[in-house]
Chains A and B, each alone.
Chain A
């Protein structure tokens, strides 16, 4: 045989050996569906959190004898399709993350999700979960899933820039705008905005600060995007864009970088953004801080704060329902939550958890203690086709603020399509 052929044959032989040697163990640890599973797979679309999940997996193995391995996805739409398809196969997830709002409702209505009503009752009684949060996880009077994480949407700001301008975190909207004006005068862009993924943020903030009920009604289809209250919000937003209060929406520059450099002074993000700031080498309290965003309408009694909470779910027909439920019980408890929140540098759904970062801790205490009205983030509140239309519309609005009426009509069209017959 020629040398080439020999090499080829050797390669093929080696490859076949490698292939048969280890094909991944999707079949082990099944425990026969009735019980006995000691390793659970947690499917999630937060691939970036894999190291944190793994730490929790080690901790749970120590504390309750059940280990957990994350299977991370990074593209949410692909993840969704995959999970839904998995319900029909033998590859059902033991645990999986999802989104609250319409998407959770969808799979609950399809009878796929395991009920957790008792779990919630016990957890609220033990002070591990707040009653305020329960509503987001309730359908038809019953609870499903438990909170995987919770983040509050607050205003991050560059403290050094603030100090230089002689500013303090505002307690009213008027103060916030006056801060913004002073910053503008100094050549600093007051607010960050983006037309990609988080293009809804300012719409959400302005609306919940004006009329939180209208915001909720939009999510259920009871109100229209063309209603005067919504139009007024868009007009205010347009005023701000025209007034030069925002950074370039099309910039792909990392928002943390923008804030760090001081070119932009403030930005609305979920408290998970804290990690991005610390990764840049910024110190909380010295270099940057965060504050709850005051209501636009001062007549509202409580500040309305947007929050995002992702559920951790198990299937009604999970491979081992007891193990999955036990895991979720452990997840909401203090030891798990403490490790989870602090390793990621975010707040926890469990009010008992002590958070080292003073800024985060203050927000968590106020929000968890009922000081604010909580509004579900737009991303979860809006049904998928409406959300898609809205994200496009807001992005287009940022490029052409004059088109706001047209954009609202576009969103409403999608909403009409979705809600007809429901």
Chain B
């Protein structure tokens, strides 16, 4: 078999009409199910099934001790009437915009700049290191930086910029913004790594062709590289979308959603209502709303991306 040799592996995938397996490949069709099922079973049993329990709980009133009491949609109506919801939604939106734009763009920049140059791995290291820190570690360091009289205030004062006296962690929206900066610090490296995977798989031919046509530098990037990077861009933005909607750890450890709930995100609201107040039914309802929102948003985004790619080609 000659398959092991290096054929031009990175030509664009041949378009497949309707995504069906070829007629003669029936064995492959059953094989396909076999290939996908271990992953699906694991995810279904360990992730979906426990979540179904949460869905069931969301229609009840439950204190964790006595039996859950069915109360229909009361949790949901209560949630939509909750005044804290507005702030929570606003903050979550800030997180979504913040994390799908800046860390992604910076990650792309780092990937593009470091791709293929000597010593690229070392130049990328400062961006990768932050991801080695645990969620709590991240919150401790940045709590340290953002606290009143902390490093951020020091630096701003030193540079004679406004903000030397701001209490970043206390005042909204600065606390949320500050935490988004911390998150960006950590996530840029991750995004860079994923973009590198994408850059690495870009096929040679279109680039050669474009260069022969006289394109170079920025226009090369914009017209050839960027569209070919689309699969990984989808991954990176898709992940950022999900992560931003579920933002919890960093907020909980840094500000606990406060002061006065002004830095709460939807996931923090969920945790408070379920675990801190001990109202597991209500918290489950919040969780369900959060999950459905995340699911709908990512589904819409991914569908659009996948469809447009199939249309390309």
Within 8 A of B (CB), among A67-100: 77-78, 80-81, 84-85, 87
Measured CA separation A392–B264 after assembly (Å): 11
- Tell me if B143 and A252 are in contact (CB < 8 A): yes
- Tell me if B149 and A253 are in contact (CB < 8 A): yes
* One of A77, A84, A87, A249 near B170 (C-beta < 8 A): A249
B161 in the interface, Cβ–Cβ < 8 Å? no
- Tell me if A84 and B64 are in contact (CB < 8 A): yes
Contacts of A393 in B (CB 8 A): 260
- Tell me if A87 and B147 are in contact (CB < 8 A): no
Measured CA separation A197–B277 after assembly (Å): 14
Contacts of A398 in B (CB 8 A): 259
Within 8 A of B (CB), among A188-217: 195-197, 199
With both chains docked as a complex, state the minimum distance between the C-beta of A31 and any C-beta of chain B, in angstroms. 26
B183 in the interface, Cβ–Cβ < 8 Å? no
A1 in the interface, Cβ–Cβ < 8 Å? no
With both chains docked as a complex, state the minimum distance between the C-beta of B270 and any C-beta of chain A, in angstroms. 12
With both chains docked as a complex, state the minimum distance between the C-beta of A409 and any C-beta of chain B, in angstroms. 12
Question: How many residues on A have C-beta within 8 angstroms of the other chain's C-beta atoms?
Answer: 33
B148 in the interface, Cβ–Cβ < 8 Å? yes
Measured CA separation A195–B258 after assembly (Å): 8
Contacts of B277 in A (CB 8 A): 384-385, 388
- Tell me if A399 and B147 are in contact (CB < 8 A): no
Within 8 A of A (CB), among B266-293: 271-272, 274-280
Measured CA separation A253–B262 after assembly (Å): 20
Measured CA separation A393–B66 after assembly (Å): 30
A3 in the interface, Cβ–Cβ < 8 Å? no
B90 in the interface, Cβ–Cβ < 8 Å? no
Task: Give a binary string over A387-400; 1 marks a CB under 8 Å from any B CB, 0 the rest.
Answer: 01001110111110
- Tell me if B66 and A110 are in contact (CB < 8 A): yes
B40 in the interface, Cβ–Cβ < 8 Å? no
Secondary structure of the A contact surface, majority rule: helix
- Tell me if A399 and B260 are in contact (CB < 8 A): yes
With both chains docked as a complex, state the minimum distance between the C-beta of A80 and any C-beta of chain B, in angstroms. 7
Contacts of B170 in A (CB 8 A): 195, 249-250, 399
- Tell me if B65 and A106 are in contact (CB < 8 A): yes
- Tell me if A110 and B65 are in contact (CB < 8 A): yes
B124 in the interface, Cβ–Cβ < 8 Å? no
Contacts of B279 in A (CB 8 A): 385
With both chains docked as a complex, state the minimum distance between the C-beta of A406 and any C-beta of chain B, in angstroms. 10
A248 in the interface, Cβ–Cβ < 8 Å? yes
Task: Give a binary string over B163-180; 1 marks a CB under 8 Å from any A CB, 0 the rest.
Answer: 000010111000000000
* One of B63, B144, B167, B278 near A248 (C-beta < 8 A): B167
User: Chain A CB within 10 Å — which of B64, B147, B148, B169 has the most?
Assistant: B64
A174 in the interface, Cβ–Cβ < 8 Å? no
A251 in the interface, Cβ–Cβ < 8 Å? yes
- Tell me if B259 and A195 are in contact (CB < 8 A): yes
- Tell me if B259 and A250 are in contact (CB < 8 A): yes
With both chains docked as a complex, state the minimum distance between the C-beta of B290 and any C-beta of chain A, in angstroms. 17
Contacts of B171 in A (CB 8 A): 399
User: Chain A CB within 10 Å — which of B144, B260, B271, B274 has the most?
Assistant: B260
* One of B147, B258, B280 near A251 (C-beta < 8 A): B147
A112 in the interface, Cβ–Cβ < 8 Å? yes
Contacts of A396 in B (CB 8 A): 258-262
Within 8 A of A (CB), among B158-211: 167, 169-171
Which residue on chain A has the smallest CB distance to residue B144? A252
Contacts of A248 in B (CB 8 A): 148-149, 167
Measured CA separation A154–B148 after assembly (Å): 26
Given A112-B65, A195-B258, the answer on whether A77 and B147 have CB atoms closer than 8 Å is no
With both chains docked as a complex, state the minimum distance between the C-beta of A159 and any C-beta of chain B, in angstroms. 24
Measured CA separation A84–B278 after assembly (Å): 10
Which residue on chain B has the smallest CB distance to residue A385? B277
* One of A80, A199, A395 near B278 (C-beta < 8 A): A80
A107 in the interface, Cβ–Cβ < 8 Å? yes
Please provide the 6 A-B residue pairs with the shortest distance between their CB atoms, ordered closest to farther: A396-B260, A250-B170, A77-B275, A395-B259, A84-B64, A252-B147
Name B residues whose Cβ lies closer than 8 Å to a Cβ of A.
63-66, 143-144, 147-150, 167, 169-171, 255-256, 258-262, 271-272, 274-280
Q: A77-B275, A196-B258 are in contact. List 9 more A-B contacts (CB 8 A).
A: A80-B64, A81-B275, A85-B64, A106-B278, A112-B65, A248-B167, A253-B147, A384-B278, A385-B279
